[in-house]
Amino acid sequence: MELTTLKATSRVLGANRENKRLRKAGQIPAVYYGKGTEAVNISVSAIDVRKVLAPGKRYTLLDLEIDGKAGNPAVIYNYQKDAISQAIEHIDFLKIDENSMVKVRVPVKLSGLPVGVKTQGGVLAQETHYLMLSAKPASIPTVLDLDISDFETNVTFYAKDFKLPEGVTLASGPRTVIFSISSKSKKKDAADAAAPAAAAPAADAAAAAPAAEAK
C-alpha cells in the first residue's frame, strides 16, 4: 500500500480561540481516529492539504507523520468548510488498514448531453451528487463518472444501476435516485388537465353573478 506523507502536529483540544489562532497561522485543526486507536487531536498545513485534495486525489492514502513519527495510515474521511470563504476549517482523518473495508462518500459526476434532452425535449434532473461506498483503501474510486449521452426520456437511474469497480460495494440505499429524464409532454398534459379544474370555480362564480344582480 503506497502512502503519501502528510506532516502533522499534535495539539491540546482547547477553546475556539485556539483554533482561530491555528487557522490564522495557516494550520487546520484536525483529529485522527479509528478502530484500535485513541483519537489524537492534530493540526496540518492548509497548503499541504490543498495538494492532497487536488482534483483526482480526494482519497489519497496518507501516512500522517505526527510530531515526526510516521506509521499512521489514514484517509481524509470528512472535512468542514466555512460557508462564506469555503476555507477548510476542520478535518477528520480515519485510520485505515489495507485489508479492512471502509465506508466513504464519493461524488457522482454526470457527463454528456442525453438524447432525451438533446432531441426529445426532455428535462434532466440530478437528484443525488454523492453516494456512500464500501471498499478497501486501495480500491476507493475518486469519483463515480457516468456518461449519460445515450439515455432517452422517461428514465430514472438508481444507485443500484451503477457498475461499480471490482471490490467496491454500494453502501447507500439501492433505490437512491441518481437522475431522471422526464418528458415535457407529460408535464404539459398534467398542466392541461389541471386547467379545467381551476377554471370551473371561476365559471360558477360568473354564472352566479347575474342571479345576485336580479335580486
Residue 210, in any domain of the structure? no
Question: Could you tell me the residue range of the domain that residue 93 belongs to?
Answer: 4-97
Query: What's the Cα-to-Cα distance from 172 to each of 110, 125, 131, 158, rounded to whole Å?
Result: 18, 19, 6, 11
pLDDT, tens digit, for every residue of 135-159?
988 888 888 999 999 999 999 999 9
- Between 20 and 156, residue with greater pLDDT: 156
CATH of the domain at 50: 2.40.240.10
**Does position 75 have pLDDT exceeding 60, yes or no?**
yes
pLDDT attached to residue 119: 94
How confident is the model over 163-190, as a mean pLDDT? 85
**Does position 1 have pLDDT exceeding 60, yes or no?**
no
- Between 104 and 159, residue with greater pLDDT: 159
Handedness of CA 124, 127, 129, 135 (dihedral sign): negative
Q: How many CA atoms lie within 13 A of 79 on its CB side?
A: 23
Residue 197, in any domain of the structure? no
Number of other residues whose CB lies within 10 A of the CB of residue 159: 21
CATH of the domain at 120: 2.170.120.20
Residue 15, in any domain of the structure? yes
Domain end position, chosen among 81, 97, 113: 97
Neighbouring-strand partners of residue 132 = 105
Residues 129 and 91 in one domain: no
pTM: 0.65
Residue 213, in any domain of the structure? no
Residue 192, in any domain of the structure? no
Residue 203, in any domain of the structure? no
**Does position 188 have pLDDT exceeding 90, yes or no?**
no
The 3-class secondary structure across 163-176, one letter per residue, is CCCCCCEECCCCCC
